[in-house]
Chains A and B, each alone.
Chain A
Amino acid sequence: MPAAHQIDIHHVATLARLTLTEDEAVRYAAQLDGILTYIDTLTRYNLDGVEPTAHAMPVYDVLRADEARPGFTQDQALSNAPKRTADQFQISKVIE
């Protein structure tokens, strides 16, 4: 059955920061197509003029007092780092 949705799975995977094998790419593209076909149920209803809901129990403008409060020490913050150096997170080189 031809795909109903034109999904550029490699582009989506790049946006999602995921490496996919060729097998995965084929499988996920087909599965996403099936799921999106089901999701197209939403197009059967006229939703013009309906306000979108982001939260069922909305709470607005949540600000805390601008006061210092205790937080993690540097050691605590780094305690789960896969790689650290000189009390910092270590990442791959980004500048030549």
Chain B
Amino acid sequence: MLASSTITALRQQITAGEITPRDIVLDVAKSIDARNTEIGAYLSWDVESALAAADRADIKKPLGGIPIGVKDNMNVAGEPCTCGSRILAENYSAPYDAGAIQRLRSAGAIPFGRLNMDEFAMGSSTENSALGITRNPRDITRVPGGSSGGSAAAVAGDLAIAALGSDTGGSIRQPASLCGCVGIKPTYGRVSRYGLVAFASSLDQIGPLTKTVEDAALMLNHLCGYDAHDSTSLNVDVPDFTAAIGQDIKGLRIGLPKEYYISGIHAGVSASIQAAIKQLESLGAIIEEISLPHTELGVATYYVLAPAEASANLARFDGVRYGHRSGNAGDLMEHYTRSRAEGFGPEVKRRILLGTYVLSSGYYDAYYIRAQKARTLIRNDFTEAFKHVDVILSPTSPTPAHKLGEMKDNPLAAYLEDVFTIPVNLAGLPGISVPCGNVEVDGIALPIGLQIIGKALDESTVLRVAHAFEQSR
């Protein structure tokens, strides 16, 4: 089955003339037809246009003829872009390609299919999608994680070769961990955010979800790079990330933050991570305890800054230029308030209200500025730690996948699960989640992810460690 294969393997087969891009698209479509009713990874997919793209694909290009699933918050010309929300579900058709999509197309890839997500990427279970449930392919009674839950479920369930996700507080890494695939969030500014529907602009970053670390490196090669359409895009050289694949890690210094290895971590997760640490040590890495003293502030800081930015970004949904418009409004004010109330789901409303509150007169200094100061301390913690180590290790998520509905009505408990991934976004650093074992729950082996955090712009070392670890298992 081609749908269960990797980009690297399929590219070899295409180049050798054994298969065509059309064969791959058809096989992925077959897999979606067979399993999407159960998994719910895709919200929509257009086989005809993907086949047309496959037939004209330039197979000499590095990603030539490879279909890539896209999280439903990135614009692909002519396709829907619902963000998992009713507010964009009715009539929106993207008028242009996002920067990341332009780059993938230039490398020969074929954007294929729209993947489910928590509404506007707010959540870590994909249960906040207004448009359907996504199930974890390992255990369909459990969540896939989120917010890029559709992307992770598609890749891990062999409904996609690879996919794009976006990560604001862990939304690529956490679902990759819970579904058992690879997911990397690059350094902030590496990948253009142009055409990615904004959630929290100072934290959002696009990245790939793949079956192997090598595929992640290959995709990054063609996703990263300066884009004048994104004013936060970094105009820096993009190395060949695949060059990091296969290098050993002898003498590499790995930091374990003492604040991360605390109570509250599931025993099965702890055991897997401890085994991973031993494994890396046996490969020649030097393990050192480090301190990130302001870890405790991460979640609180994030839940001020991200909703604040979201409340401003989502002001654009006014029922005038695009999106849902209430049929039952009198004056202009009612037009705004009703269109938005009818279009947004509960988690989005909760975060818009929280963000509006912390930015409102009288609370701005007490919450917003205070959180920005805390962000400085968190960032400084990493700067200090990276004077002593090359990468930092942690679990990606403190628990394996929850049951569907388990975290309902307890938003704060759900927020606290992002404790290991959030600081990485606040500091703008690259982080990967790579599978590191399973924990048996109710007779089913649930995947565990190992998070490897690197210095800014040092994705190469992150990938090198991840690959060495992946290959040694």
- Chain A interfacial positions (CB closer than 8 Å to B): 7, 9, 12-20, 24, 28, 31-32, 34-36, 38-43, 45, 47, 50-57, 59, 62, 64, 72, 76-77, 79-83, 89, 91-94
Q: Count chain A CB atoms within 10 A of each CB in B296, B370, B377, B426 and give the residue with the most.
A: B370
A-chain residues with CB within 8 Å of residue B357 when the two chains form the complex: 7, 12, 32, 36
Decide: B91 and A80 in contact? CB cutoff 8 A: yes
Q: Taking the nearest CB of chain A, how far is it from the CB of B408, in angstroms?
A: 13
In the assembly, what is the distance between CA of A94 and CA of B301, in Å? 40
Decide: B337 and A19 in contact? CB cutoff 8 A: yes
In the assembly, what is the distance between CA of A91 and CA of B318, in Å? 10
A-chain residues with CB within 8 Å of residue B21 when the two chains form the complex: none
Can you name 15 extra interface pairs (CB under 8 A) apart from A9-B353, A13-B353, A82-B319? A7-B357, A12-B356, A16-B352, A18-B341, A19-B340, A20-B349, A28-B353, A35-B354, A36-B357, A45-B374, A47-B370, A53-B375, A56-B202, A56-B427, A80-B323
Contact among B231, B300, B330 for A42, CB-based, below 8 A: B300
Q: Taking the nearest CB of chain B, how far is it from the CB of A21, in angstroms?
A: 9
Name 25 interchain pairs, CB-CB below 8 A, sorted by A: A12-B356, A13-B337, A14-B337, A16-B356, A18-B344, A19-B340, A20-B341, A24-B349, A35-B354, A35-B411, A38-B300, A39-B367, A41-B297, A42-B374, A45-B294, A51-B376, A52-B376, A55-B428, A56-B375, A57-B189, A81-B322, A82-B323, A82-B325, A92-B332, A92-B334
What number of residue pairs across chains A and B have CB atoms under 8 A from each other?
172
Decide: B428 and A82 in contact? CB cutoff 8 A: no
B344-367 residues with Cβ-Cβ distance < 8 A to A are 344, 349-350, 352-354, 356-357, 360, 367
Decide: B228 and A64 in contact? CB cutoff 8 A: yes
- Chain B interfacial positions (CB closer than 8 Å to A): 91-93, 95-96, 187-189, 202, 228, 231-234, 294, 296-297, 299-301, 303-304, 311, 315, 318-325, 329-338, 340-341, 344, 349-350, 352-354, 356-357, 360, 367, 369-377, 379, 411-412, 415, 426-429, 456
B-chain residues with CB within 8 Å of residue A91 when the two chains form the complex: 320, 332, 335
In the assembly, what is the distance between CA of A13 and CA of B95, in Å? 31
Known: A16-B311, A18-B337, A52-B375. A35 touches B412 (CB 8 A): yes
Contact among A19, A47, A59 for B341, CB-based, below 8 A: A19
Decide: B340 and A47 in contact? CB cutoff 8 A: no
Top 3 A-B residue pairs of the complex, sorted by shortest distance between their CB atoms:
A56-B428, A52-B372, A82-B325
Decide: B412 and A56 in contact? CB cutoff 8 A: no
In the assembly, what is the distance between CA of A11 and CA of B325, in Å? 23
A-chain residues with CB within 8 Å of residue B376 when the two chains form the complex: 50-53
Decide: B373 and A50 in contact? CB cutoff 8 A: yes
In the assembly, what is the distance between CA of A36 and CA of B57, in Å? 52
Decide: A80 and B373 in contact? CB cutoff 8 A: no
Known: A15-B360, A62-B231, A79-B93. A57 touches B300 (CB 8 A): no
List the A residue with the shortest CB-CB distance to B294.
A45
B-chain residues with CB within 8 Å of residue A36 when the two chains form the complex: 354, 357, 367
Decide: A34 and B373 in contact? CB cutoff 8 A: no
Known: A42-B301, A82-B324. A92 touches B427 (CB 8 A): no
Contact among B232, B315, B333 for A57, CB-based, below 8 A: B232
List the B residue with the shortest CB-CB distance to A89.
B320
B-chain residues with CB within 8 Å of residue A20 when the two chains form the complex: 341, 349
Contact among B202, B352, B354, B377 for A45, CB-based, below 8 A: B377
In the assembly, what is the distance between CA of A12 and CA of B323, in Å? 23
Q: Taking the nearest CB of chain B, how far is it from the CB of A54, in angstroms?
A: 6
Decide: A89 and B321 in contact? CB cutoff 8 A: yes
List the A residue with the shortest CB-CB distance to B233.
A59
Known: A45-B374, A82-B324. A19 touches B338 (CB 8 A): yes
A-chain residues with CB within 8 Å of residue B329 when the two chains form the complex: 92
Q: Taking the nearest CB of chain B, how far is it from the CB of A96, in angstroms?
A: 11
Decide: A31 and B332 in contact? CB cutoff 8 A: no
Q: Taking the nearest CB of chain B, how far is it from the CB of A86, in angstroms?
A: 15
List the B residue with the shortest CB-CB distance to A94.
B332
Q: Taking the nearest CB of chain B, how far is it from the CB of A33, in angstroms?
A: 10
In the assembly, what is the distance between CA of A40 and CA of B234, in Å? 34
Decide: B228 and A31 in contact? CB cutoff 8 A: no
Q: Taking the nearest CB of chain A, how far is it from the CB of B217, in angstroms?
A: 21
Contact among A24, A59, A92 for B331, CB-based, below 8 A: A92
In the assembly, what is the distance between CA of A34 and CA of B311, in Å? 19
